[in-house]
Structure 1
Amino acid sequence: MSLAEPTAEVVAQAIDWRVRLASGLAPVEELEACVRWRRLHPSHEQAWQRLAVFDGRLGGMPPPQASQALRYRDRRTVLKGLALLLGGTALAGGTSLGLHGTPWLAEQRTATGERRRLALPDGGWLQMNSGTALDLAFDSQQRRVRLLAGEIMIQTGKQGAERPFWVDTPMGRLQALGTGFTVRLGEDSVLLAVEEGAVAVRPSAGQQTAAVVHAGEQARFDRQGVFAAQPLDRDALAWREGYLVVRQWPLARLCAELGRYRSGVLRCDPTVADLLISGVFPVGETDRALAALGHSLPVRARYLTRWWVTLEPA
């Protein structure tokens, strides 16, 4: 057994953290405390990551059973589930870049509310957020990702490092310089956030010289150029763990962000749109997140149907 192999006690602690953060009522400080716990020992992070994979497998269960399992009321069941994960995850992803150019025909897609992690042929990995579409090309000449919609996190691998690693977007091309970074497509711009190494940005039009964004920075760019780099907003990266971290957001902004993770329409009544909210919300259970808002604000979620919800005054 390796030093990083989690004990039953560590796994139980990881389960407790996920229960607390999945409640929809956790303050931001709870998430920060969880991050500190994960950094205390490699086995803590190992247990946390295995639970994240277990959460993903719950996506295929019927909603009532999945909801109950996500609360981890039966810890023995969870521990048995973790035992199945000791062998790691299977390699996923394509080996050729499709010429489709449209999200509907992409090689890899996630549905609304779905998040998925792919192993890459170079030994790295890629995580897809809700509503993401992409094509992959890994061969003797290149390592390439074409992002057509959504948001991804990439950790490049060391195998074939002599080949350039490209990420193509509708606004321009990125070149990874041995790194870990996140790319999110917007309607008229792309947000790049770099955690490790650096990334060169080449907009599709405008400036010819690539702009380099370094670790601990984020920058937005469009077809014409790259805007000034800003300090990295780590809260915005919490989606990879299944959470949305909110610090004094207008309710309308929270509504728009939660809407990325659920099918149908999620609206915010203008009379409550400017109310400020802070907290940690589970993106995998948006109904629970919406119900939790009533504990902090004088609002309620009114369901016309399951696919048409309005946040309005309580």
Structure 2
Amino acid sequence: MPVDNASLGRHAEPCQQVVKQAIHWLLRLRNNHGNLRLNRQCEQWCAEHYEHELAWQRVQSLQAELSHNLCAVPGAQVAFHTLENSAQGLGRRQALKLLSGALLIGSAAWLVKDTAAWQQWRADYATATGERRGFQLPDGTRIELNTASAVDLHYTAQQRLITLGRGEIIVTCAGSDEGAPSVRPLRVQNRDGIYEPFDARFILRQEDRCTRLSVTRGRVVVHAGGHSFDALAGQSFLVDQSGLRAAPTLDMDAGAWLDGLIVTRNMRLGDFLAEVARYRPGFLNCATDIADLRLSGVFRLEDTDRLLAILPQTLPVQLRYRTRWWVTLERAV
């Protein structure tokens, strides 16, 4: 089945059909160990599109998790144990069927867990990987969405609620709602808390284990962990379901992405690449021996390949492109 690159390029995650193709390649390579021709064909398939590469990474990762009891998928461990220890007694088709069933169950669980593409499709406002967009809401409130972000609006006669499903948002209040903010208060909600602004401008960034709140104007009342806290202009906090705590000082400008920039101040290379990776599909990483190198500067986001090409000019590193979407940095030799 031909792959529509224009269509797939709009999504940050591989579709289920591509995941199944990756599983098929894994099964073929597993049962033809040492076949160099088959390995080259798989590498060519991975290079055809970033979704292929990403699906291949995820399926390999899933296999490792299942093999080491790190992923509790019903039936998967039995399948792998049987395949590893009783392969001699299984016919090729039986082994393929057994392993395929385990991987399909696991990949289905992964697809359900990783809902970025689904959230983007169903959200009221959303951005794809690398995309940044601004929206004016019905009450005059302005929201800016960073890369791979999604929000829903719940505006009724009683409330104005913005729900951040994923990603990062800048909210700029339009002032009171027809002179009666207590009648229809504006609130922003995500998994970690509720944020009630008063003539404020603030940034919410939803991370893996917490949410970073940065207030640039006015006051935001944070409701989290069963308590309420005031966050004032110039303050930053980390919020989770236990409450909030002062955020460590960032080594980058929290809101520079609004202007299409990453502005760093003595930032670790490993952290910088993790930030750049948010704006491009595929895999981006560096060797551990250079992760602690530091860099400062202003970097433009519209072309992340060009951005990466600048790094060897200022740091003792070199770029390694396995494919267009799989990039690692190593120490220059």
Same fold (TM over 0.5): yes
Counterparts in 2 of 1:231 and 1:214: CA distance versus 1, 3 Å: farther
Distance 2:134 2:250 in 1: 22
Cα distance, 1:292 vs structure 2: 0.5
Cα distance, 1:201 vs structure 2: 0.8
**Matched residue of 1:177: which SS?**
strand
Structure 1 stretches of 5 or more lacking a match?
1-100
**Matched residue of 2:253: which SS?**
helix
Could you say which residue in structure 2 is the equivalent of 1:127?
A: 144
Could you say which residue in structure 2 is the equivalent of 1:224?
A: 242
Could you say which residue in structure 2 is the equivalent of 1:267?
A: 285
Distance 1:172 1:184 in 2: 12
Counterparts in 2 of 1:233 and 1:213: CA distance versus 1, 3 Å: farther
Amino acid at match of 2:219: A
Structure 2 stretches of 5 or more lacking a match?
1-117
Cα distance, 1:138 vs structure 2: 2.4
**Matched residue of 1:289: which SS?**
helix
| Kept in 2: contact 1:103–1:148 (CA 8 A) | no
Q: What pairs up with 1:182-261 in 2 under 5 angstroms?
A: 182-203=203-224, 206=225, 208-228=226-246, 235-261=253-279
Q: Which has the larger radius of gyration?
A: 2
Distance 2:200 2:239 in 1: 19
The answer to whether structure 1 residue 116 and structure 2 residue 137 are counterparts is: no
Could you say which residue in structure 2 is the equivalent of 1:175?
A: 196
Cα distance, 1:250 vs structure 2: 1.2
Could you say which residue in structure 2 is the equivalent of 1:46?
A: none
Cα distance, 1:105 vs structure 2: 2.6
What per-residue deviation string (whole Å, max 9, x for no partner) do you get for residues 147-186 of structure 1?
Answer: 0100000101136252211111011111112211110001
TM-score normalised by length of structure 1: 0.64
| Kept in 2: contact 1:175–1:201 (CA 8 A) | yes
Cα distance, 1:227 vs structure 2: 0.5
Cα distance, 1:140 vs structure 2: 2.4
Aligned residues: CA RMSD = 1.9
Distance 2:240 2:251 in 1: 19
Counterparts in 2 of 1:159 and 1:212: CA distance versus 1, 3 Å: closer
Normalized per residue, which structure has more helix? 2
| Equivalent residue pairs, number | 211
Kindly indicate whether structure 1 or structure 2 has the higher relative contact order, using CA contacts under 8 Å at least 6 residues apart: 1
TM-score normalised by length of structure 2: 0.60
| Kept in 1: contact 2:283–2:326 (CA 8 A) | yes
